[in-house]
């Protein structure tokens, strides 16, 4: 089954590029739509298993519950991005290029989710990065190019750190398999070399995740990329390449040593506060959401930094919840940008009257991000804050609560400036976005509400496993 999750998108990519140029774009759209829906719905089931075929391929992959988190979440976010792209990109060739890159991203993320070896993880992260550089440049915007350049430079630094770490790991432990590295590191803590290697690898992942102090490229790239790419960037790309891999490596190797946990807690807390404060001062809606993403990423890292099962569980849930509600907020921003032609919140107002679906879904996602009960974001933040408190990190716990209040403040400010009040005269002709563009927002907000309401049952089910 594991190899099919990689091979089917690859086969589709190859087939689509063999089709005649005139008819291939709609075929590409519908087949990718079906593929992504299939991935979300069917990947939890063990459908096909052929040991002979797996041995022939020689792919060293492992499909477990942890990898399913990324496989399903990326399926959902890529689906939302695909629908937004179809609604917003008008040229056939651009649509086709976007779908090609989306499939490459899908293969890389699925591979990343199932990789068992630290070098294979690195190669898949590089594949995600290359596809991301090109996706951001699709818009040919000069600020996007500035964002890419910053991302490219930081990515090279991250790659150098990760490759050095891999070299040190193979020198000290003699293996690159995550299970072997765990055997070497845990419970003795490993040698100085293996500790240095893990620290370098984690630093590389934090750069890829765009957390403070490596956040310079995030706001430029997120805000200047085309709307479907912004959904991908904020929803899944940085999280998969940075945060998910960090969670995977940490939980697989059990390298929860005191220095590593201290670094994660500090980076997490600084990201939470910096992101929230920077978001407060923004007038461009996408830049505000970008800084908000940095802040929410901080919560995930802080949860992981506790090193406790509760904190890790909170981090995993916040990873999923943040992917859903942040993608939805970027889908709302896409609807606003298309209907209004601007991202400046000071030029908006009263839009809930003329764009009721966008307004309602945006309020739901904002409240979920701020951690208002009973929405999904509340539960995952609660788990992280409790884990911080129980692990004795009282200051970080209070910082996380206070930053949540700031999050609520900037999202209420966003809602007031964009959706409440009177519609300015120049926006009187504005209508609701197209059904296709609203579909991702409605679907994602249903997920936010659904996960929130069913969370106690979901948590019980996860704890039982």
Partner 1 sequence: MNIMIFLLVLMLLAGLWAVMTSLLLRAAIALALTSVVLSILMFQMGAPLAAVFELSVCAGLISVVFISVISLTHRLPLKEYLARRQNRILRFWFLPVLLAIAGLMFFLFKQPVEVHTPARLLLAEVRIVLWQLRRLDLFTQIIVLLAGVFGVLILFGGNKENGN
Contacting positions for partner 1 (CB under 8 A):
6, 10, 13, 57-61, 93, 97, 100-101, 104, 107-108, 111, 115, 119-120, 123-124, 126-127, 130-131, 133-134, 137-138, 140, 170-174, 191-193
- Residue with Cβ nearer partner 1 (139 or 257): 139
DSSP H helical segments within 213-284, as ranges? 218-224, 227-232, 238, 245-253, 258-280
- Residue with Cβ nearer partner 1 (19 or 123): 123
- Residue with Cβ nearer partner 1 (103 or 383): 103
How big is the chain, counted in residues?
Answer: 465
Q: How far is the CB of 111 from partner 1 (least distance, A)?
A: 6
The contacts of residue 414 (CB under 8 Å, 6+ apart) are 285, 288, 345, 366
Residue 284 sits at φ, ψ, to 5 deg, of: -80, 120
DSSP letters spanning 274-334 = HHHHHHHT--BHHHHHHHHHHHHHHHHHHHHHT-SHHHHHHHHHHHHHHHHHHHHHHHHHH
d(Cα 393, Cα 426) in Å, to the nearest integer?
A: 51
- Residue with Cβ nearer partner 1 (21 or 462): 21
Q: How far is the CB of 348 from partner 1 (least distance, A)?
A: 31
Q: How far is the CB of 250 from partner 1 (least distance, A)?
A: 22
Q: How far is the CB of 9 from partner 1 (least distance, A)?
A: 10
Which one, of 50, 437, 83, lies nearest residue 232 by Cα?
83
- Residue with Cβ nearer partner 1 (131 or 355): 131
Q: How far is the CB of 335 from partner 1 (least distance, A)?
A: 25
Q: How far is the CB of 100 from partner 1 (least distance, A)?
A: 5
Q: Maximum distance among all alpha carbons in the chain?
A: 69
Q: How far is the CB of 268 from partner 1 (least distance, A)?
A: 29
The contacts of residue 390 (CB under 8 Å, 6+ apart) are 306, 308, 310
Q: How far is CA 356 from each of CA 148, 332, 424, 456, rounded to the nearest angstrom?
A: 35, 11, 16, 30
Q: How far is the CB of 325 from partner 1 (least distance, A)?
A: 28
Q: How far is the CB of 390 from partner 1 (least distance, A)?
A: 38
The contacts of residue 356 (CB under 8 Å, 6+ apart) are 432
- Residue with Cβ nearer partner 1 (189 or 421): 189
- Residue with Cβ nearer partner 1 (170 or 458): 170
d(Cα 332, Cα 445) in Å, to the nearest integer?
A: 11
- Residue with Cβ nearer partner 1 (8 or 277): 8
The DSSP code for 422 is P
- Residue with Cβ nearer partner 1 (173 or 223): 173
Q: Is 43 helix (H, G, I), strand (E, B) or coil?
A: coil
- Residue with Cβ nearer partner 1 (59 or 143): 59
2 and 61 in contact (C-beta within 8 Å)?
yes
**Token couple for 76:** 């959902």
Q: How far is the CB of 172 from partner 1 (least distance, A)?
A: 7
**Token couple for 161:** 């750190």
């Amino acid at each position: 089954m594991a190899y099919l999750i990689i091979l089917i998108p690859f086969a589709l990519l190859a087939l689509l590029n063999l089709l005649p140029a005139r008819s291939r774009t709609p075929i590409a759209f519908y087949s990718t739509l079906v593929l992504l829906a299939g991935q979300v719905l069917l990947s939890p089931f063990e459908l096909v298993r052929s040991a002979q075929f797996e041995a022939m391929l020689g792919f060293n992959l492992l499909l477990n519950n942890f990898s399913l988190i990324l496989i399903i979440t990326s399926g959902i976010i890529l689906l939302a991005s695909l629908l937004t792209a179809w609604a917003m990109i008008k040229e056939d060739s651009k649509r086709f290029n976007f779908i090609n890159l989306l499939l490459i991203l899908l293969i890389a993320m699925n591979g990343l989710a199932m990789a068992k070896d630290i070098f294979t993880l690195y190669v898949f992260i590089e594949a995600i990065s290359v596809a991301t550089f090109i996706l951001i440049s699709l818009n040919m915007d000069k600020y996007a190019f500035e964002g890419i350049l910053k991302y490219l430079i930081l990515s090279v630094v991250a790659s150098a750190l990760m490759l050095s770490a891999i070299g040190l790991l193979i020198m000290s432990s003699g293996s690159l398999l995550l299970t072997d590295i765990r055997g070497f590191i845990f419970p003795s803590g490993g040698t100085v070399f293996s500790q240095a290697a893990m620290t370098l690898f984690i630093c590389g992942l934090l750069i890829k995740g765009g957390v403070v102090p490596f956040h310079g490229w995030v706001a430029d790239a997120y805000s200047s990329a085309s709307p479907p790419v912004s959904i991908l960037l904020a929803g899944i790309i940085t999280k998969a390449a940075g945060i998910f891999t960090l969670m995977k490596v940490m939980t697989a190797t059990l390298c929860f040593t005191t220095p590593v946990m201290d670094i994660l807690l500090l980076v997490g807390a600084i990201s939470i506060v910096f992101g929230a404060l920077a978001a407060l001062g923004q007038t461009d809606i996408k830049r505000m959401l970008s800084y908000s993403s940095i802040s929410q990423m901080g919560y995930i890292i802080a949860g992981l930094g506790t090193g406790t099962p509760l904190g890790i569980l909170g981090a995993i849930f916040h990873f999923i919840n943040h992917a859903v509600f942040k993608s939805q907020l970027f889908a709302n921003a896409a609807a606003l940008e298309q209907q209004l032609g601007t991202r400046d919140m000071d030029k908006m107002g009263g839009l809930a009257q003329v764009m009721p679906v966008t307004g309602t879904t945006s309020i739901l996602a904002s409240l979920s991000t701020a951690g208002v009960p009973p929405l999904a974001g509340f539960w995952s933040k609660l788990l992280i804050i409790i884990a911080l408190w129980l692990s004795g990190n009282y200051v970080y716990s209070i910082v996380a609560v206070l930053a949540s209040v700031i999050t609520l403040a900037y999202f209420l400010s966003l809602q007031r400036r964009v959706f409440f009040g009177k519609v300015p005269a120049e926006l009187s002709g504005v209508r609701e976005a197209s059904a296709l563009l609203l579909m991702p927002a409605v679907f994602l907000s249903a997920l936010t509400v659904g996960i929130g309401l069913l969370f106690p049952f979901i948590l019980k089910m996860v704890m039982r496993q």
